[in-house]
Amino acid sequence: MSCRVTKIPVATEHGQAYGYAIVCSRKAPVKRCVTCGTQYDIKLCDFPLTGEKSGQTCDRPVCGAHALYVEPDTDYCPAHTRLLASQPVLTD
């Protein structure tokens, strides 16, 4: 949580004066691309996890330039893109 002191105007019987207030916020951390650090056009990796985290997805933040588009609403991070490329292709 971050807090800061803010000067605020206060009406008094003699005109205007100033008081101070402490303002705190709980902003969510900004997601940045794991590859380049940008915070724009962020997608979360949708690669399905296995083992203990079965049923969940990777969720690494990755920008549109570094994400592999798989299908609508499905993008993979560079690490999972490399993993897919290293797996043999199964054919009938």
Residue 86, classed as helix, strand or coil, is helix
Query: From CA 10, how far away is CA 60, in angstroms rounded?
Result: 46
Is the predicted pLDDT of residue 13 greater than 90, yes or no?
Answer: no
Q: What are the pLDDT digits (tens) for 40-66?
A: 899 999 999 999 999 999 999 999 999
Could you give the CA distance from residue 48 to residue 76 in angstroms, rounded to a whole number? 10
- pTM equals 0.64
**Triad 58, 61, 67: Cα angle to 5°:** 90
